[in-house]
């Protein structure tokens, strides 16, 4: 789908290009026009729930999440292994790994399993509900690997946020992140499952050095059919809070300070999401990049 960014209204967004058109290496990177034209020749997908009919709400809730997702294949990769879901109260970004086409399958399985939680009533125990869905996804990935040797090693990261009353549950496995922008301050509310984060925690490495470490991409766990321990937390929300979920295709190449400024500078979520993608492309976009920009608003 060359041309302008595509806006869809479906519930499940598959960000990958048509699989029959999978290309090798960066052969087509040069056809992307200069940033700022607003036109991309590679798949670029935006999804919005900004229509009045799609206000996100659930019974007894005083606040809602309104969100936009955007994803781009980047300038180097031949396919997009990220997957994204934006539901009534659930947001998910997954970054598949395992090569073509296994990585796409893994992130797709995960997002599909988590999406089931979105249509169920709020139990008030969102972390448990999300973990149960992750276990289902993990089992399905294990089965998919058993079905085909070519899928050996496939897996996916996940970062997910779910509104429950006036709190959100944030949960992650791997290095996809969730940030909160509140009162102009940016806070990373997930903790990467990476080798360099472990070194930072041990005081061996400074966060700044971690960014430049040659092994910064090494994740210490993922959802890939084996055991994993998701890290979850509950965050009370306020009207005006803005959340960002992203794959490492953004956070590895765009400084937190730039992310913070971008989140502050563009009130319009769709513009903000597109600007985050634009900053990534300016940084060379070696990886697939996916973002969800979500605002806490009055119902």
Nearest Cα to 294, choosing from 10, 59, 126, 63?
63
Q: Which of 5, 98, 126, 249 binds Mn ion (CB under 5 A)?
A: 249
Report, in Å, the least distance between residue 248 CB and Mn ion.
4
Query: Which 104-143 positions form the footprint of Mn ion (CB under 5 A)?
Result: none
3-state secondary structure of 99: coil
- Which of residues 49 and 80 has its CB atom nearest to Mn ion in the complex? 80
Inter-residue contact 4 to 73 (CB < 8 Å): no
Query: Which 260-289 positions form the footprint of Mn ion (CB under 5 A)?
Result: 287
- Which of residues 95 and 104 has its CB atom nearest to Mn ion in the complex? 95
- Which of residues 217 and 258 has its CB atom nearest to Mn ion in the complex? 217
Report, in Å, the least distance between residue 250 CB and Mn ion.
9
Report, in Å, the least distance between residue 104 CB and Mn ion.
12
Report, in Å, the least distance between residue 82 CB and Mn ion.
7
Q: Which of 248, 283, 291, 294 binds Mn ion (CB under 5 A)?
A: 248
- Which of residues 88 and 192 has its CB atom nearest to Mn ion in the complex? 192
3-state secondary structure of 274: helix
d(CA 155, CA 10): 25
Q: Which of 95, 129, 192, 193 binds Mn ion (CB under 5 A)?
A: 95
Nearest Cα to 285, choosing from 243, 256, 247, 245?
247
Report, in Å, the least distance between residue 183 CB and Mn ion.
30
- Measured from the Cβ of residue 5, the count of other Cβ atoms closer than 10 Å reads 18
- Which of residues 129 and 287 has its CB atom nearest to Mn ion in the complex? 287
Q: Is 241 in the site for Mn ion (CB under 5 A)?
A: no
Report, in Å, the least distance between residue 51 CB and Mn ion.
30
Q: Residues binding Mn ion: what is the number (CB under 5 A)?
A: 5
Inter-residue contact 177 to 237 (CB < 8 Å): no
Inter-residue contact 91 to 162 (CB < 8 Å): yes
- Which of residues 164 and 247 has its CB atom nearest to Mn ion in the complex? 247
CA of residue 107 relative to chain centroid, distance? 10
- CA distance between the termini of the chain: 35
- Measured from the Cβ of residue 50, the count of other Cβ atoms closer than 10 Å reads 14
- Measured from the Cβ of residue 213, the count of other Cβ atoms closer than 10 Å reads 15
Binding site for Mn ion (CB under 5 A): 95, 247-249, 287
């Amino acid at each position: 789908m060359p041309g302008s960014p595509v806006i869809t209204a479906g519930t499940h967004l598959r960000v990958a290009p048509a699989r029959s058109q999978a290309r090798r290496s960066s052969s087509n990177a040069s056809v992307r026009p200069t940033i700022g034209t607003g036109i991309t020749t590679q798949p670029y997908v935006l999804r919005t729930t900004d229509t009045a009919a799609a206000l996100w709400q659930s019974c007894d809730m005083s606040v809602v999440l309104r969100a936009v997702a955007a994803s781009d294949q980047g300038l180097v990769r031949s396919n997009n292994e990220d997957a994204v879901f934006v539901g009534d109260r659930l947001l998910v970004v997954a970054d598949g790994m395992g090569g073509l086409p296994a990585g796409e399958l893994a992130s797709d399985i995960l997002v599909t399993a988590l999406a089931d939680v979105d249509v169920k009533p709020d139990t008030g125990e969102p972390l448990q509900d999300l973990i149960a869905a992750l276990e289902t996804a993990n089992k399905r990935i294990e089965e998919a690997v058993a079905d085909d040797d070519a899928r050996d090693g496939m897996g996916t990261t996940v970062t997910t946020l779910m509104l429950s009353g006036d709190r959100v549950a944030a949960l992650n496995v791997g290095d996809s992140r969730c940030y909160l922008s509140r009162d102009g301050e940016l806070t990373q509310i997930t903790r990467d499952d990476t080798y360099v984060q472990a070194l930072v925690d041990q005081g061996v490495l400074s966060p700044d050095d971690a960014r430049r470490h040659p092994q910064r991409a090494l994740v210490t766990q993922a959802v890939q059919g084996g055991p994993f321990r998701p890290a979850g937390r509950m965050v009370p929300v306020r009207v005006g809070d803005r959340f960002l979920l992203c794959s490492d295709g953004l956070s590895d190449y765009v400084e937190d300070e730039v992310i913070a400024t971008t989140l502050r500078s563009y009130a319009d979520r769709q513009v903000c999401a597109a600007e985050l993608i634009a900053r990534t492309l300016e940084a060379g976009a070696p990886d697939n990049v996916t973002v969800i920009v979500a605002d806490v608003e009055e119902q």
